[in-house]
Amino acid sequence: MVESRPAGVKAIVALSVALAIAALLYAALIGADWAPLSSGAWLLGGGLEQTGPVAFLLYAAMLLLIAAGLWKRWSWARRVGVLIAAAGVVLAVPAISSAVMDSRVLAIAREGMQIIVRVVIVFYLTQEPVKEWFAGR
């Protein structure tokens, strides 16, 4: 069993922190009325951006908590990360369906990339060596 932190876990933590920073920026911009609610739709998806800056703050807090848990090798963070990534795939379905129906190529690429990244995260975090690394605390 490998004791050093897997590169995939490092990448997922880095991505989570980057998305959390983006969510905090959107919360600040929307809270100051410098950006419309729809500007953060790519980040939250599923229409959740319409609830205002609080949704972005909660999303950022959740991402940072999961990132910290993954970094500290907490097994619950791996499970929650899998659930959140899988939920993100489900929430992306209406957006990509709409983009395909309207032939919006950029939106198709954006939503498709989000789905691919989330599926890769689910796949990676459910692999036996990664599960063993989290269990080896």
Q: Looking at this protein, which amino acid is placed at residue 92?
A: A
1 within some domain: no
75-101 and 128-135 helices, crossing angle to 10° = 140
61-86: pLDDT as tens digits: 999 999 999 999 999 999 999 999 99
pLDDT range class, residue 1, cuts 50, 70, 90 = very low
**Six-digit token string for 39:** 């500007």
2 within some domain: no
pLDDT range class, residue 109, cuts 50, 70, 90 = very high
128 within some domain: yes
- The number of folded domains in the chain is 1
72 within some domain: yes
62: Cβ–Cβ under 8 A, 6 or more apart, which residues? 84
pTM over 0.85: yes
19-46: pLDDT as tens digits: 999 999 999 999 999 999 888 888 887 7
Eight-class DSSP state of 137:
-
77 within some domain: yes
Domain that residue 90 falls in: 7-135
The percentage of the chain sitting over the pLDDT mark of 70, rounded to a whole number, equals: 97
